[in-house]
A and B are shown apart, each in its own frame.
Chain A
Amino acid sequence: MLSILGFIWMLIVGLIVLGFIAGSAMFLIWMERKVSAHIQSRFGPMRVGWHGVLQSIADAVKLLLKEDIRPAGVDKLVWWLAPFVVVVPSVMVFVVIPFGKSLIVKDLNVGILYIMAVSSVGVIGIFMAGWGSNNKYSLLGGMRSAAQIISYEIPLVLSMIVVAMQASSLSMQKIVAAQSGHWYILHPNLTLAFVVYLISATAEVNRTPFDIPEAESELVSGFHTEYSGMKFAMFFIGEYTNVFIISAIATTLFWGGWNGPILPPVVWFLIKTYGIVFILMWARWTFPRVRVDQLMGFAWKALTPISLVNLAITGWLLLR
């Protein structure tokens, strides 16, 4: 009986989360446009709805109505499948994100391992997009992206392992519960892990200063040059969903998850997540882009040694 109730609860929360993903992607697109506009002393979307809130819906409708152009020389299956392979892993990660005390689709006891495994599949989608487009620019974009994502997985994973060591568990809810008195950001070795995590996660989702795969001024549009209409919209939604995911994981691992006084846990979780999203957007509109070889050099020669040293220090502190 209990297992059937648990199963039904899982379905209900799953549906709520799916609805949340769609709404959140639209809200994030609006937020990005408004944040970037006010940084640049201008207004941003103002016409559709109050201060442009309905602009994302208007854009979604426009993209739905657009003609789906398939260029002649593309590799049909690979090109058609690429947007799905990019978006589906992002949505799958939402299974283990703890929105509240029991607002989680399924609290897997290998939560962090599941996240790392599933998010690594996304890079295949980008590479498929680059290869299948039969276009020199897209191919360059796809290859660069694959190299970038693979290099930055190692510091990302190492910083997440530090948190798992501190909490002695891989399950997301247990990590949040372990921070109920004392958020992890207050430990100095975990602050370093947070900084490394933030930099690697920005590189993982291809955002400036690491957005070489979409480097507009060099490769026109990189790996999604040949996509139009709804397929392009899927890449776009996938990017913003990824931004939300890495902020949500950062909140859970380092900033105490849904812990907080007075307000309900869901509200705290959303406040913290959108705060980190704001920091990511703020950094995007300030910094120039890092070059490909400098990016690789930074990952292998700076971030990886720092995270390994951090791992050793955390182990020593825990065993003491």
Chain B
Amino acid sequence: MDTTQTKDIYTEEFLINMGPQHPSTHGVLCLELKLDGEFVKECTPHIGYLHRSMEKIAENRTYTQFIPYTDRLDYVASMNNNLGYVMAVEKMLNLEVSQRAQYIRVIVAELNRIASHLIAVGTFAQDLGAFATPLFYCFREREKILDIFDQICGNRLTYNYMRIGGVQFDFPKGIDEKIKDFVKYMRPKVDDYDQLLTYNTIFLSRSKHIGVLPKELAISYSVTGPNLRASGVKWDLRKDEPYLVYDKFEFDIPVGKNGDSWDRYKIRIEEIRQSLRIVEQAIGALPEGDPTVKVGRIHKPSSSGIYFRTENPRGELGFYIVGDGSVCPYRLKIRSPSFSNLAVIPELVKGLKIADLVCVLGSFDILMGEIDR
């Protein structure tokens, strides 16, 4: 076909809605894609399908009453959300938390990090087409964690476990053994995932060098969490701004080299291993004491605004609270990690195919509950 003929061929761009109901956008996310054949020219995310006006509701609830609402932000990692909010309020009130409560908080937060990363790994493999097997293996492991949480606080997904100044219940008898058994059980399973997926040649060819996020772009879009660490920036709030008793434990921060999807996935697998280390050390060093607090106490902090951030499994979760001396906060702003992570995705997918778009979206591990609040 000579060149004069190609100029007369009329091609059109295809506008497709990877709509709110789609098997592989994690939650109700609507992506408006402009396609040229198989390649993505432009991608515009539309959010807000899960908006529940949490920040407005907070202005009419007392500080204790708002804790169940924080469960439902990042519903897969409830303990970490509770922790962030409760520590922000404790900072406003300058409350001291007992040592046992701090160790308990670290243990449940790290177990929840493992549970959240298991979902990220499982759904990423499912998006790439390993249809259900890694997902079922990850959920089988997650069931053990949820059973432990069920015995600690009585619920499997929305825990409502942290209180301002402590936790809801003390650990029941026998839970130490169960947690130690879980750590022993989980270690070989992570090696299983490595053998099944991580170095699989089809998996490598689908995810290596796809969606490379350069360091400067990541920092300028304020991407945080495993996505930032995969791009080569060694930044983890547990080491750089330690809160609770994280400075007493020995653990490494895995950092990636290329910033592609495979790195983001591999960092999550390594973080599961490091979290297991932290849980093992914490459960061995649990001090005595009473970690519970009375829940009927009324708090009336007044401050011009404090910001406290913690390391959620998805990134940096921050709470900015302004109190005015009454029982309800004047303004509560939630800085959710998935919101900033989602903002960088349209930059990365220009020129990729649809299959790669699904891979990049899966590797960023966003959750709509956090984005829409």
Residues of A within 8 A of B (CB): 36, 39-42, 136, 208-209, 211, 215-218, 220, 284-294
Whether the Cβ atoms of B353 and A292 lie closer than 8 Å is: yes
Can you offer 15 A-B residue contacts whose CB atoms are under 8 A?
A40-B133, A41-B140, A136-B16, A208-B131, A217-B126, A218-B358, A220-B22, A285-B131, A285-B133, A286-B196, A287-B200, A289-B129, A289-B202, A290-B129, A291-B206
> Is B94 located at the chain interface by the 8 A CB criterion?
no
Closest approach, in angstroms, between the C-beta of A304 and any C-beta of chain B?
Answer: 19
Question: Contacting B128 at CB < 8 Å: which of A211, A288, A294?
Answer: A288
| B-side contacts of A42, CB under 8 Å | 136
**Which of chain A's residues has its CB closest to B129's CB?**
A289
Question: Contacting A215 at CB < 8 Å: which of B129, B132, B356?
Answer: B129
Interface membership of chain B positions 130-147, coded 1 if the CB is closer than 8 angstroms to chain A and 0 otherwise: 111100110010000000
| A-side contacts of B196, CB under 8 Å | 286
Whether the Cβ atoms of B16 and A293 lie closer than 8 Å is: no
Whether the Cβ atoms of B137 and A40 lie closer than 8 Å is: yes
| A-side contacts of B24, CB under 8 Å | 217-218
| B-side contacts of A292, CB under 8 Å | 38, 353, 355
Question: Contacting B203 at CB < 8 Å: which of A136, A215, A220, A288?
Answer: A288
Whether the Cβ atoms of A286 and B22 lie closer than 8 Å is: no
Closest approach, in angstroms, between the C-beta of A286 and any C-beta of chain B?
Answer: 6
Closest approach, in angstroms, between the C-beta of B222 and any C-beta of chain A?
Answer: 29
> Is B185 located at the chain interface by the 8 A CB criterion?
no
| A-side contacts of B129, CB under 8 Å | 208-209, 211, 215, 217, 287-290
| Binding site secondary structure of chain B | helix
> Is B354 located at the chain interface by the 8 A CB criterion?
yes
Whether the Cβ atoms of B132 and A216 lie closer than 8 Å is: no
Interface residue ranges of B306-351 to A (CB < 8 Å): none
Closest approach, in angstroms, between the C-beta of A278 and any C-beta of chain B?
Answer: 15
> Is B14 located at the chain interface by the 8 A CB criterion?
yes
**Which of chain A's residues has its CB closest to B362's CB?**
A217
A-B interface, 5 closest residue pairs, ranked by CB to CB distance from nearest: A289-B129, A40-B136, A217-B24, A288-B130, A288-B128
**Complex Cα gap A292–B39 (Å):** 12
Give the one of B126, B200, B202 with max A CB within 10 A.
B202
| A-side contacts of B202, CB under 8 Å | 209, 287-290
Whether the Cβ atoms of B200 and A217 lie closer than 8 Å is: no
**Which of chain B's residues has its CB closest to A293's CB?**
B353
| B-side contacts of A136, CB under 8 Å | 14, 16
Whether the Cβ atoms of A217 and B130 lie closer than 8 Å is: no
**Complex Cα gap A1–B140 (Å):** 66
> Is B271 located at the chain interface by the 8 A CB criterion?
no
Closest approach, in angstroms, between the C-beta of B105 and any C-beta of chain A?
Answer: 32
**Given A40-B136, A218-B355, A292-B355, are A287 and B130 also a contact pair (CB < 8 Å)?**
yes
Whether the Cβ atoms of A217 and B23 lie closer than 8 Å is: yes
| A-side contacts of B132, CB under 8 Å | 36, 40, 285
| A-side contacts of B130, CB under 8 Å | 286-289
| B-side contacts of A217, CB under 8 Å | 23-24, 126-127, 129, 358
Closest approach, in angstroms, between the C-beta of B21 and any C-beta of chain A?
Answer: 9
Question: Contacting A288 at CB < 8 Å: which of B23, B206, B356?
Answer: B206
**Complex Cα gap A215–B206 (Å):** 14
Q: A36-B133, A40-B132 are in contact. List 10 more A-B contacts (CB 8 A).
A: A39-B133, A41-B137, A217-B129, A218-B24, A218-B354, A220-B22, A286-B130, A286-B133, A287-B129, A288-B128
**Complex Cα gap A81–B200 (Å):** 40
**Complex Cα gap A198–B30 (Å):** 39
| B-side contacts of A39, CB under 8 Å | 133
Closest approach, in angstroms, between the C-beta of B212 and any C-beta of chain A?
Answer: 17
| B-side contacts of A288, CB under 8 Å | 125, 128-130, 197, 200, 202-203, 206
